[in-house]
């Protein structure tokens, strides 16, 4: 349907269903190319605009069309999961392919609200205005991304706002977070579609250009605002061990892993902060105490803040032992942080009675992890020139994707930390997408972010979301770089996602109310 001209889906612009589905699949397939490592961000506008165009011209199956779009989006965008299941999990290509396909089919369901809202308006019996359709489309897209932050534990990946890093639209992030950037990016996509659509009258195309310039101007003006100030610059050493995932948890390799990390750290005990990646230590019990006592003693003698990713087993009388994925502080640093957002099938196994033994990584110690508390004290650093301890807001691996969780910790912190083991995903696009998400967390909260990984991407990100130093992947090395401790908070750190969610709720209520009135008038 063309809302501006009054044509409906039966006119000359209607498309046959197979062609609609093919275009939706292709549009979804190019969507991930806007993200790291490709960074072809204009393709996001093309992708979203094509879906919008298709939904406007469909006469039925709107939700199915959105689901097909989701198949393309996730089929390309999360293809890296295959590497972990097949290459490192030991599953056959068939089993790995079926598991990834099932996951893609499930994730594509999150796109259904987009098609449902537009379709409900289109099928209401009267031609809805372009404004109502556009509001429903943008609000339902945001509803999709919000659901991905919590529903079934969430999978906050491939958010449109992540692809806007390095563009004028990123100025929205410190104020309204990644969901705010997404809303602007999707709206820009619709405006661009109107501008290039020659079936639109000149006035509508002019309004679209005016709206586009207004959004870009607002974003650019916000991009020039400094929300935080520096409290001082310090030296960090990020250790990248590049331990082979196939042997990392082997009993005879665990002390070898420790010696490798100690060897890489030997020349860097003079750093203000020394960080080892997720599960750098794979020791338990007495062995773990022996290694951490040596580490703590070395850190104390060199007056260094040390943070190490390691498993932590806690036992209480009469209860089964609990396994936590943690980062722990040694030397001048203090504290412990346990991962709260666990990875399904990676750190806990749904239907484990059926799946354990099917794939090797389901039997690793890390696959029986216990969730850390939702609210935990931050790790604290002792840094020269700062009288009080500097808090570190931590996110272990996958949970850096949960912006609202991290921003609550960031409110009292001076720096952000994430450790990861993206070795599971080999040379795929996954680790690069992960780093881009971490960059967004730095931008949202106006904090430098320190990222230590086993095999990459290890790097330092400044408060504007820019990578200032980075190691090459798959090389054992240490990244020595500077970072700043920041003071102050961004509006997003203070308010979180509530302003954007409030607008989404209002818009959806308005659209649904308009739909109900239209239906009642039709009856």
Known catalytic residues? 278, 339, 397
Q: Is omega for the bond preceding 457 within 30 degrees of 0, making it cis?
A: yes
CA–CA distance, 375 with 17 (Å, rounded to integer): 49
Beta strand 449-453 with 477-487: parallel, antiparallel or unpaired?
A: unpaired
CA–CA distance, 117 with 141 (Å, rounded to integer): 10
CA angle, 292 then 364 then 333, to 5°: 25
Closest CA to 445 of 176, 160, 88: 176
Name residue 323's beta-bridge partners: 313, 369
CA distances from 385 to 36, 270, 273, 382 (A): 37, 16, 14, 9
Closest CA to 137 of 148, 127, 147, 122: 122
What are φ and ψ of residue 395, in 5° steps? -140, 120
Tokens 């002390």 found at: 255
Locate 67 and state its tokens: 């689901």
CA–CA distance, 333 with 360 (Å, rounded to integer): 36
Locate 397 and state its tokens: 């691996």
Tokens 């932050």 found at: 149
Question: With helix as H, strand as E and coil as C, how does 124-162 read?
Answer: CCCCCCHHHHHHHHHHHHHHHHHHCCCHHHCCCCCCHHH
According to DSSP, residue 278 is labeled T
């Amino acid at each position: 349907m063309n809302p501006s001209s009054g044509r409906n889906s039966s006119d000359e612009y209607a498309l046959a269903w197979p062609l609609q589905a093919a275009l939706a699949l292709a549009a979804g397939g190019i969507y991930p190319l806007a993200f790291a490592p490709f960074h072809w961000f204009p393709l996001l506008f093309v992708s979203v605009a094509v879906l919008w165009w298709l939904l406007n011209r469909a006469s039925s199956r709107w939700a199915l069309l959105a689901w097909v779009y989701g198949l393309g989006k996730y089929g390309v965008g999360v293809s890296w999961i295959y590497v972990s299941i097949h290459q490192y999990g030991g599953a056959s290509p068939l089993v790995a392919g079926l598991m990834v396909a099932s996951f893609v089919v499930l994730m594509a369901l999150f796109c259904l609200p987009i098609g449902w809202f537009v379709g409900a308006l289109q099928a209401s019996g009267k031609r809805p205005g372009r404004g109502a359709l556009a509001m429903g489309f943008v609000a339902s897209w945001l509803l999709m991304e919000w659901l991905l932050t919590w529903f079934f534990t969430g999978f906050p990946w491939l958010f449109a706002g992540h692809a806007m890093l390095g563009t004028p639209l990123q100025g929205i992030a410190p104020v309204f977070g990644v969901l705010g950037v997404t809303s602007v990016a999707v709206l820009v996509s619709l405006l661009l579609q109107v501008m290039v659509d020659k079936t639109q009258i000149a006035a509508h195309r002019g309004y679209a250009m005016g709206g586009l310039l207004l959004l870009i101007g607002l974003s650019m003006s916000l991009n020039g605002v400094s929300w935080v100030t520096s409290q001082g610059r310090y030296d960090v050493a990020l250790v990248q061990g590049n331990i082979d995932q196939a042997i990392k948890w082997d009993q005879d390799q665990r002390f070898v892993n420790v010696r490798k990390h100690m060897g890489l750290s030997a020349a860097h005990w003079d750093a203000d902060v020394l960080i080892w990646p997720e599960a750098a230590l794979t020791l338990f019990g007495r062995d773990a105490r022996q290694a951490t006592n040596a580490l703590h003693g070395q850190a104390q003698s060199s007056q260094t803040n040390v943070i190490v990713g390691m498993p932590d087993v806690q036992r209480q009388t009469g209860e089964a032992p609990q396994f936590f994925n943690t980062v722990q502080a040694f030397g001048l640093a203090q504290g412990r942080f346990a991962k709260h957002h666990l990875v399904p099938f990676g750190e806990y196994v749904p239907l484990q009675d059926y799946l354990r033994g099917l794939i090797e990584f389901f039997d690793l110690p890390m696959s029986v992890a216990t969730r850390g508390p939702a609210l935990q004290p931050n790790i604290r650093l002792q840094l020269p020139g700062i009288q009080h301890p500097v808090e570190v807001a931590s996110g272990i691996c996958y949970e850096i994707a949960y912006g609202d969780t991290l921003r609550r910790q960031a409110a009292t912190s001076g720096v952000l930390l994430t450790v990861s083991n993206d070795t599971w995903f080999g040379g795929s696009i996954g680790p690069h997408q992960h780093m881009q998400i971490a960059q967004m967390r730095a931008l949202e909260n106006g904090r430098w972010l320190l990222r230590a990984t086993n095999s990459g991407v290890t790097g330092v990100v400044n408060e504007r979301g820019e990578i200032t130093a980075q190691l090459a992947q798959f090389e054992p090395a240490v990244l020595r770089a500077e970072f700043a401790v920041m003071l102050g908070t961004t509006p997003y750190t203070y308010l979180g996602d509530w302003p954007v969610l409030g607008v989404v709720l209002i818009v959806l209520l308005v659209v649904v109310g308009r739909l109900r009135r239209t239906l009642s008038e039709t009856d």
